[in-house]
Chain A
Amino acid sequence: MTDLLFTNARLLDPSQNIDAVGYLAVTDGNISAIGVGTPEGADVKATKTIDCGGQSLAPGIVDMRVQTADPGSEHLEDLPSLLRAAAAAGVTGFACLPNTQPVVDNAAMIDSLALRASRIGGPRLHVYGAATRNLEGTEMAEIGMMAEAGAVGFTNATSSIDDALVMRRVMAYASMLDKPIIQHCEEASLSRDGEMNESETSTRLGLLGIPAAAEAMIIDRDIHLMRLTGARYHVAHVSTRAGVTAIRRAKAEGLPITADTAPPYFLLNELAVSTYDTAFKLSPPLRSEDDRQAVIDAIADGTIDAIASDHVPVDGDAKTQPFGPAQPGASGLDTLLSLTLSLVHQQKITMMRAFEALSLAPAAILDVPGGTLAPGAAADLVIFKPDVGRLIRGADFTSLSRITPFEGQPAQGVVTATYVNGICVHQMAA
């Protein structure tokens, strides 16, 4: 008999292109049936039936760019708070960057994080291994052993691997293991000390600029290295038109390149920095309006495959500073779904495309569960009300990290419940 039966739900499944009101059955933690309309036959009997009342039911979000401050700076975000925040955000799986203290550059660190997350329970925690030892960009880390321990990809976290030879070797090695390399694309020698996007605004504010070219240069270089190595390569948080153009060209060539971006890069531009508000200090920096439009177009046409939260735990101490020394980054988990839905509400993308970007594409890139409501798949689900309004307030976040560039902004879309393996990990208080 079915364990759990969701009825009267707007089913959203990008993997089967379903957007219809129907039902979904869960047995032994997996989806056992899905159908349009009301359930019939064997599906009707369930241990528990949940009437969704017309709410949307979609594959849970797979967030492929999250920073955890645990271990190292647990006061900013520890694993329990991170898992709670993810669950509340409708995220059923997320991948953590290896820039913890100590760095995740060996299999033991991956084992430790996975074990601790499983004890806490909740969403699936995936881990990226550091591509280079201690993220120094000079020596390759033990990528093979980390892959065996479950690393879903390798990355130098918040900076590029500067040395082209090191990058070539890392890519070649990872391709042997069929793991993607995730790159934060920023030519360090051009962007060092940079405080914001290089533009008239940076000139006016007297802040040091990071040119858009710094992003495209690394993408271009790495595309050449893809041809040499055959590696799967993923561009994290694309922010510029030049970057988008480079990725689009490489895709047209048939190279295994993928990309993600985050809500600030399709909803905000550099003008937000005009008051020196450090909540808008991000890495990469907020770009020009033209870049923002290019990012939106690239999400719509699939050049940018995925949307991630780019969640960075920071607190007031790191942000209540002059713009230059303030730490870049902001909280992203709590707002990921509603901000992505704003593109749907603005009719820039369809609901189907939104969940492709939030769930199907990242799950495929990382080869982890998610992105489908097909029978047999793990019952990782999010139930949400796409039209219900909310006011974004950092103080209301589930995450311990409460600084957001969207403070005080209205948004639509509220998560009411999250299921992982058919188990409820978040239920909005009635």
Chain B
Amino acid sequence: MNKPSNKRAATARNAPAALLPTRHLLGIEGMNPLEINALLDRGDYFANAIQKNSDQQANLGDALKGKTVLNLFYENSTRTRVSFELAAKRLGGSVLNISVAGSSVKKGETLLDTATTLNAMHPHILVVRHNCSGAARLLSEHVDAAVINAGDGRHEHPTQALLDALTIRRRVGHIEGLKIAICGDIANSRVARSNIHLLGTLGAEVRLVCPSTLLPTAIDQMGVSVSTNLEEGIYGADIVMMLRLQTERMAGTETPSQREYFNLFGLDRSKFLRAAPNALIMHPGPMNRGVEIDSTMADDVEKSLIRTQVEMGVAARMACLEALALGGETA
């Protein structure tokens, strides 16, 4: 049996599976601290179980046993897709990956036709990434499966924010009261939006740092402060979260050059000195080395949490998948 043994569970904080009031996980906006913390607690438990247990399956439960998770990715992705796949498999689920290249989507099939086609095969959970904001929500309105938003346009990427929070929590111990600077291409970043919601909800002080051309309208109304100077914006910050310059979503007039961007907004050692003494560096990846972050910072084993983020991605997604799988049973 794949039940968690009591002994093991006691060593990892024995957090129960998270339960969500919604059938889908479409965004962080609207989630309350209890729901977020339930997912983080469970993610923490999974992270411990994975790290401490060589016989992994034993401690992880089988919430997804007999269930099918469908990864439907309209944008290229390596880490997120693999992370979801691994998370689902560790919970005993079976996973199908559909990438758009070479599929019927390329033949002109609409998002909803694809969705209804897949729906007819009765997957339990649909993990969707799409380049249009709101696409995951649209799908959720037309399929029976629980939908997880794995990134929709510039809107949200909830599991990234959860894994970021889990990473911070495991390293620092808490999120409340931390000064967290999110730096870079805010305008085009779904990661930024999800993190603004999540970190703000958990009581962190969130600052945004970016050139004025990448600053979305009225973002200061989302409970954050804004700076257009990296050294000023990260001053005293506990966490410096760098974002990828999303050239694929940019019109070409946002910054003069990558060289200038790195000069003004790229994180290097001298600028990083402005942050708090024990400040940590994060990046959701994939990185543009030498554009938004200098390699010496990205690879600094003391300060960089970037690899931990990837590791926590699996644990955080396990918590999400499990919560939605159980939600389906109780509904």
Q: Bin chain B's interface residue count.
A: 20 to 34
B222 on the A face (CB < 8 A): yes
Q: Which residues of A contact B221 (CB under 8 A)?
A: 200
A13 on the B face (CB < 8 A): no
As a 0/1 sequence over residues 213 to 236 of chain B, the CB contacts with chain A under 8 angstroms (1 = contact) are 000111101100000000000000
Residues of B149-187 at the interface with A, using a CB-CB cut-off of 8 Å, are 152-156
A73 on the B face (CB < 8 A): no
Asked if B219 and A206 sit within 8 Å, CB to CB, the answer is no
Asked if B222 and A204 sit within 8 Å, CB to CB, the answer is yes
Among A198, A203, A206, A209, find the residue whose CB has the most chain B CB atoms closer than 10 A: A206
Q: Which residues of A contact B251 (CB under 8 A)?
A: 193
* Contact of A324 (CB < 8 Å), options: B29, B137, B153: B153
Among B138, B219, B251, find the residue whose CB has the most chain A CB atoms closer than 10 A: B138
Residues of A188-226 at the interface with B, using a CB-CB cut-off of 8 Å, are 193, 195, 198-200, 202-209, 211
Q: Which residues of A contact B111 (CB under 8 A)?
A: 321-322
Asked if A206 and B218 sit within 8 Å, CB to CB, the answer is no
Asked if B110 and A321 sit within 8 Å, CB to CB, the answer is yes
Q: How far is the CB of B79 from chain A (nearest CB, A)?
A: 21
Asked if A325 and B132 sit within 8 Å, CB to CB, the answer is yes
Q: Which residues of B contact A16 (CB under 8 A)?
A: none
A154 on the B face (CB < 8 A): no
Asked if A203 and B219 sit within 8 Å, CB to CB, the answer is yes
Q: Which residues of B contact A204 (CB under 8 A)?
A: 29, 193, 222
A74–B324 Cα distance when bound, in Å, is 45
Asked if B155 and A205 sit within 8 Å, CB to CB, the answer is yes
A321–B190 Cα distance when bound, in Å, is 20
A323 on the B face (CB < 8 A): yes
A206–B154 Cα distance when bound, in Å, is 4
Task: Name which residue of chain B comes closest to A192, CB basis.
Answer: B251
A223–B207 Cα distance when bound, in Å, is 43
Asked if B112 and A324 sit within 8 Å, CB to CB, the answer is no
A313–B260 Cα distance when bound, in Å, is 47
Asked if B134 and A322 sit within 8 Å, CB to CB, the answer is yes
A238–B110 Cα distance when bound, in Å, is 33
Among B132, B154, B155, B156, find the residue whose CB has the most chain A CB atoms closer than 10 A: B132
Asked if B133 and A207 sit within 8 Å, CB to CB, the answer is yes
Task: Name which residue of chain A comes closest to B186, CB basis.
Answer: A203
Task: Name which residue of chain B comes closest to A317, CB basis.
Answer: B110
Task: Name which residue of chain B comes closest to A198, CB basis.
Answer: B217
A346 on the B face (CB < 8 A): no
Q: Which residues of B contact A38 (CB under 8 A)?
A: none
Q: Which residues of A contact B218 (CB under 8 A)?
A: 199-200, 203
User: Is the contact region of chain A dominated by helix, strand, or loop, or is it mixed?
Assistant: loop
Asked if B217 and A322 sit within 8 Å, CB to CB, the answer is no
Given the contacts A204-B193, A204-B222, A206-B193, A324 and B133 also touching, CB distance less than 8 Å: yes
* Contact of A206 (CB < 8 Å), options: B110, B152, B217, B222: B152
Asked if A202 and B153 sit within 8 Å, CB to CB, the answer is no
Q: How far is the CB of B189 from chain A (nearest CB, A)?
A: 9
* Contact of B135 (CB < 8 Å), options: A199, A209, A320, A322: A322
Asked if A276 and B134 sit within 8 Å, CB to CB, the answer is yes
A275–B137 Cα distance when bound, in Å, is 8
Asked if A323 and B217 sit within 8 Å, CB to CB, the answer is no
Q: Which residues of B contact A323 (CB under 8 A)?
A: 132-134
Task: Name which residue of chain A comes closest to B113, CB basis.
Answer: A320
Q: How far is the CB of A429 from chain B (nearest CB, A)?
A: 35
B81 on the A face (CB < 8 A): no
Task: Name which residue of chain B comes closest to A323, CB basis.
Answer: B134
Q: Which residues of A contact B222 (CB under 8 A)?
A: 200, 203-204
Given the contacts A322-B133, A322-B134, A199 and B155 also touching, CB distance less than 8 Å: no
Q: Which residues of B contact A325 (CB under 8 A)?
A: 132
As a 0/1 sequence over residues 313 to 332 of chain A, the CB contacts with chain B under 8 angstroms (1 = contact) are 00001001111110000000
Asked if A276 and B133 sit within 8 Å, CB to CB, the answer is yes
Task: Name which residue of chain A comes closest to B138, CB basis.
Answer: A322
Given the contacts A322-B132, A324-B132, A203 and B137 also touching, CB distance less than 8 Å: no
A321–B130 Cα distance when bound, in Å, is 12
A209–B154 Cα distance when bound, in Å, is 12
A229–B118 Cα distance when bound, in Å, is 59
Task: Name which residue of chain A comes closest to B220, CB basis.
Answer: A200
Q: How far is the CB of B222 from chain A (nearest CB, A)?
A: 7
Asked if B153 and A203 sit within 8 Å, CB to CB, the answer is no
Q: Which residues of A contact B29 (CB under 8 A)?
A: 204
Q: Which residues of A contact B216 (CB under 8 A)?
A: 202-203, 209
Task: Name which residue of chain B comes closest to A196, CB basis.
Answer: B133
A324–B134 Cα distance when bound, in Å, is 9
Q: Which residues of B contact A322 (CB under 8 A)?
A: 111, 130, 132-135, 138, 153
A44–B43 Cα distance when bound, in Å, is 86
Residues of B100-139 at the interface with A, using a CB-CB cut-off of 8 Å, are 110-112, 130, 132-135, 137-138
A64–B137 Cα distance when bound, in Å, is 37
Asked if B112 and A206 sit within 8 Å, CB to CB, the answer is no
Asked if A209 and B217 sit within 8 Å, CB to CB, the answer is yes
Given the contacts A199-B217, A209-B217, A276 and B137 also touching, CB distance less than 8 Å: yes
Q: How far is the CB of A280 from chain B (nearest CB, A)?
A: 12
* Contact of B155 (CB < 8 Å), options: A206, A275, A320, A321: A206
A257–B202 Cα distance when bound, in Å, is 54
* Contact of B112 (CB < 8 Å), options: A199, A205, A320: A320
A324–B221 Cα distance when bound, in Å, is 24
Q: Which residues of B contact A206 (CB under 8 A)?
A: 133-134, 152-156, 190, 193
A193–B132 Cα distance when bound, in Å, is 12
A198–B215 Cα distance when bound, in Å, is 12
A203–B135 Cα distance when bound, in Å, is 16
Residues of A214-246 at the interface with B, using a CB-CB cut-off of 8 Å, are none
A358–B216 Cα distance when bound, in Å, is 39
Q: Which residues of A contact B (CB under 8 A)?
A: 193, 195, 198-200, 202-209, 211, 275-276, 317, 320-325
Q: Which residues of B contact A (CB under 8 A)?
A: 29, 110-112, 130, 132-135, 137-138, 152-156, 190, 193, 216-219, 221-222, 251
> Can you give 9 contacting A-B residue pairs, CB < 8 Å?
A193-B251, A200-B218, A200-B221, A206-B133, A206-B152, A207-B154, A322-B130, A322-B132, A325-B132
Q: Which 7 A-B pairs have the closest CB atoms?
A: A206-B155, A276-B134, A322-B132, A206-B154, A200-B218, A206-B133, A203-B216
